[in-house]
Structure 1
Amino acid sequence: MHILVLGGTAEARALAAALHPEVRVTSSLAGRVASPRLPAGTVRIGGFGGVEGLVDWVRAHQVDAVIDATHPFAERISFNAARAAATTHVPLLALRRPGWVPVEGDDWHPVDSLGEAARALDGLGERVFLTTGRMGLAAFADCPQWFLVRSVDAPEAPMPARAEVLLDRGPFTLDGERGLLRAHRVDVLVTKDSGGAATAPKLRAAREAGIPVVVVRRPPVPEGVRVAATVEEAAAWVHG
Structure 2
Amino acid sequence: MVDFQSRDTRRMDDDERAEAKDESADDEGEEHDHGDHEGHSDHGHHAHDAESVMFGVVTVSSSREADDDPSGDAIVALIEDASHEVAARDLVDDDFDDVQGTVDRLVRDDGVDAVVTTGGTGVTPDDVTVEAVDALYDKSLPGFGELFRRLSYDEIGTRVVGTRATAGVANGVPVFCLPGSESAVRLGVSDVILPEIGHLVGLARRDEDGAEADDEPGVSPEKGDGDEGSEAQEGTE
Tell me if TM exceeds 0.5.
no
**As a proportion of its length, which structure holds more helix?**
2
**As a proportion of its length, which structure holds more strand?**
1
* CA radius of gyration, larger in: 2
